[in-house]
Amino acid sequence: MLLKELYNRGPRLYPDKVGLIDGDRRFSYREAGRRYNQLANVLLNFGLRRGDRLGLLLKNSAEFIEAHAAGAKTGVAVGAVNYRLSLDGMAKIIQSLDCRVLIVDQEYAERIQSIRAELPFLETCVVVGGEIEGMHEYESLIRQSSPAEPRVDTGPHDRAAIVYTTGTTGPAKGAVATREVTLNRVYGCSIELAFGPGDRYLQVLPMFHVGLHVAQSILFRAGTLAVLRDWDVETFCRTVQEHRINKTNLAPALLNFVLNWPGARDFDLSSLELMLYGAAPMPEAIILKAKRLLPNCRLVQAYGSSETFCPVWLQPDEHARSLGGTVDSEQRRGSCGRAGALAMARVVNEQGDDVRPGEIGEVLIGGGYRDVGVPWPARENRRRAEGWLVPQQ
C-alpha cells in the first residue's frame, strides 16, 4: 500500500461523511480529499519534487493534515516545527529541515519574516489564516489549484515525516520516518486503539510530534478526526459533548485538569470510551477520579519516543489490574506495558542480555516503527544492524 492511499480511503469509501473537524469548520471526506489534491498541486507548482522537504509551523489544524496528505501524494517529506520554541529554536529547526517552502500560521508569520535573512534556502512562505506581505495566502492558492490527484511515483523507503526530538537531552534532532515506517506505525496504532469507521477521535496533543501518527490512524480507518488547536478545558469538554467524541488523548496533567475543573460536570462526557495518554505513568488517584467522572472511559498508555513512535502499550485490562494497593498492582501501574502490534521491546543489561523482572536495564526497540534518520554512536549502530534501536548516550 502506498502512503497516499491512507488519505484516499475516506474519500473513496465514505465521501459524504464528516472526516475532519477543526473548530467551526467541517469537511466531508470528499471535500478533504479535494483539498489534499489541491495542495499537492500547489507544492508541485512551487517546484517541489520527490525527496524535497516541506516545513510546517502550524498548530493542530485541518491545514496540518492537508500538508501531510499533500506530501504523501507528491513524494515530499514533511517536517514540523515546535511552535512553543524560542525564535532561535524555530530558526535552527527550519535550518535543519533545509526546506524550500514553509507553511506558517498567521500568528507566527511576523517572526518568520524577521529571520528570513537567516534562511536563504527558504524560497516560499505560505500563511494560513490571513494575509502577510511577502507571503502567499493559503486559501487563495487552494482555490486556484487543480483538484486532480497528481501522478508521482514514490517508494516505501522515501522519507515521509521528520519529527524533531524535544531537546531534553541535547539539541533537537530530526527523526526521519520513511513511508513504510509511517504506515507500520499507523497499522499498529489502529490495532492498539481499535479504530474503526464509527469512531470519533479528538486530537488534543500537538501533531508536530508523534501525535501525528495517531491522527493519521483514525483517517486510515475512515473515522472522524477532530483537532483541538489550543488546550482549553472548556473547549475540550464542549467538543466532546457536541461531537460525541468517543476516543481522545490527554497527558496525565491535562486529564487531572479536567477532573479538577468544577465546570466539567456541566457537560455530557458520557460518550468517551477510551483515553490515550503518555509521557508519564498515571497516578492511582487520577485513575480513581477518572472512573467517577468518566465511568464509561477506559485508559490506555503509549510509551515511546520521537524515533520510535509508540511501540509499547499498557492496555485497559492492565489498568484495571493496577488498582488495589498490592505490590503487583503498583508495579503494573508504573509499567510501560507490553510490545504492541508490529513492534518488539526488550530491557537488557550492559552485555545485551535480557534482565529479570525488577532489574535495571536499558530499553531496546525493534520492529517496524524505528526511525532511519538520527546518527548514533558505534554501539547503537551495531545494535541497529541487529534490528534494535536504543536511546542515544
Give the Cβ contact number of residue 310 at 10 Å: 25
Q: What is the CATH number of the domain that holds 52?
A: 3.40.50.12780
Domains of the chain: total: 3
For residue 189, pLDDT beyond 70: yes
Q: Are residues 149 and 241 in the same domain?
A: no
**122-126, 210-214, 305-309, 388-392: segment of lowest average pLDDT:** 388-392
Work out the pLDDT band at 330, boundaries 50, 70, 90. Answer: confident
Q: In this predicted structure, what is the pLDDT of residue 374? A: 47
Nearest-CA neighbor of 200 among 20, 31, 66? 20
> What whole-number distance in Å separates Cα of residue 387 and Cα of residue 366?
6
Give the Å distances, CA to CA, from 226 to 91, 157, 204, 392: 30, 30, 9, 35
Final residue in a domain of this structure, among 178, 211, 228? 178
For residue 125, pLDDT beyond 70: yes
Final residue in a domain of this structure, among 341, 359, 376? 341
For residue 378, pLDDT beyond 90: no
Q: Are residues 22 and 158 in the same domain?
A: yes
Work out the pLDDT band at 375, boundaries 50, 70, 90. Answer: very low
CA-based end-to-end distance of the chain: 36
Q: Are residues 320 and 293 in the same domain?
A: yes
> What whole-number distance in Å separates Cα of residue 366 and Cα of residue 370?
7
Q: In this predicted structure, what is the pLDDT of residue 193? A: 98
pLDDT in tens, 299-329: 999 998 888 899 999 999 888 777 766 667 7
Q: Are residues 65 and 206 in the same domain?
A: no
Q: Are residues 198 and 243 in the same domain?
A: yes
Mean pLDDT of 171-194: 94
Q: Are residues 146 and 156 in the same domain?
A: yes
Give the Cβ contact number of residue 309 at 10 Å: 31
Q: In this predicted structure, what is the pLDDT of residue 377? A: 43
Nearest-CA neighbor of 273 among 252, 300, 251, 253? 300
> What whole-number distance in Å separates Cα of residue 367 and Cα of residue 355?
20
Mean pLDDT of 38-47: 98
- Mean pLDDT score of the chain, rounded to an integer? 91
Q: What are phi and psi of 163, to 5 degrees?
A: -105, 125
Domain ranges, residue 381: 342-393
Pairing of strands 247-249, 298-305: unpaired
pLDDT in tens, 73-113: 999 999 999 999 999 999 999 999 999 999 999 999 999 99
Q: In this predicted structure, what is the pLDDT of residue 382? A: 47
For residue 381, pLDDT beyond 50: no
Final residue in a domain of this structure, among 305, 320, 341? 341
Enter the DSSP assignment of 124: E
Q: In this predicted structure, what is the pLDDT of residue 122? A: 98
CB 206 within 8 A of CB 182: no
Mean pLDDT of 202-208: 96
Q: Are residues 215 and 229 in the same domain?
A: yes
For residue 380, pLDDT beyond 60: no
Q: Are residues 165 and 225 in the same domain?
A: no
Q: Are residues 170 and 85 in the same domain?
A: yes
Highest mean pLDDT among 171-175, 203-207, 323-327, 373-377: 203-207
Q: In this predicted structure, what is the pLDDT of residue 386? A: 59
Q: Are residues 160 and 210 in the same domain?
A: no
- Spell out a b/e string for 139-160, using b for 16 or more CB atoms within 10 Å of the CB, else e: eebbeebeeebeeeebeeebbb
Q: Are residues 71 and 145 in the same domain?
A: yes
For residue 218, pLDDT beyond 90: yes
Q: How many percent of the chain have pLDDT more than 70?
A: 93
Q: Are residues 47 and 9 in the same domain?
A: yes
